[in-house]
Amino acid sequence: MLALVPDGPAAVAGLRHDDVVVAADGAPLPRAPDSAANSFAPAERIISALEDAFSDGRALLEIRRGGHVLPIEVSAALGCASRFQVAPSTRLNALADGRYVQLTSALVAAVPDEAELAGLIAHEMAHNILSHRARLNAAGIDRGLLQHFGRNARLTRDTEREADRFAVYLLVRAGYDPAALIRVWRRVAPREGAMFGGTHPSWSERIAIVRAEIAEVERLRAEGQEIRPAWTPAVLD
């Protein structure tokens, strides 16, 4: 265990830093083949095995602690369906594929505080929550060079606008200042120009979108209403 959430299910069950999980519900965790050097595939297999073990709401883990193997039962807690990665890269980039949210190490290093990092993550999480990858696939959007042109680019830009709008609500509900998204867009725009090419709206438009949604949040708050979007995702056609 490299990290434990304070008062989270693992910590409450008695897991400690430096414990090693060796099995879940009697099944040994998958081992990495010799050919898996510098690959995320082994971690993917382990995460999937743990998710399967916890699918019924609990799992009996076998923990190696020092020279002993201990059984510890851990209850599951409802969490985010997305998995998160920081990918080593000198590029400022981020992506969401419906399952993963990935930020490059250069992009993470470019932000100065937790709120701006939360803004980046919220935008990518919004893509997954709103099923943008699946919706674009259903619309027949090209994933290669042609995604930057014509209908492909137009519909992809529509999903980016939705993700910016929805990210505001994710940030507010998580207790972050949604204006952090504006700050981070301003921070990366001068460094990378059109960071994501023709598949994204201009930086000025994205900032205006976020400002408008923040104003809507303030209106809802002033009227004592629940902070949630009143709009529904657009049909991609």
**Are 139 and 36 found together in one domain?**
no
**Residue 38 pLDDT:** 60
**Are 197 and 121 found together in one domain?**
yes
Name the burial class of residue 72, with classes exposed (0-12), middle (13-18) and buried (19+) by CB atoms within 10 angstroms of its CB.
middle
**Residue 140 pLDDT:** 93
**Which amino acid type is present at position 57?**
G
**Are 40 and 142 found together in one domain?**
no
Q: Can you give the residue range of the structural domain that contains 61?
A: 9-75
**Are 99 and 147 found together in one domain?**
yes
pLDDT (tens digit, 9 = 90+) per residue, 132-175? 999 999 999 988 888 888 999 999 999 999 999 999 999 999 99
Is the full-model pTM beyond 0.85?
Answer: no
Domain count, the chain: 2
Q: How far is CA 119 from CA 80, 163, 207, in A?
A: 16, 11, 12
**Residue 195 pLDDT:** 46
**Are 55 and 112 found together in one domain?**
no
**Residue 35 pLDDT:** 62
**Are 213 and 132 found together in one domain?**
yes
**Residue 72 pLDDT:** 93
Name the burial class of residue 128, with classes exposed (0-12), middle (13-18) and buried (19+) by CB atoms within 10 angstroms of its CB.
buried
Spell out, as residue ranges, where the chain has pLDDT lower than 50. 194-196
| 4 part of a folded domain | no
Domain boundary among 58, 75, 92: 75
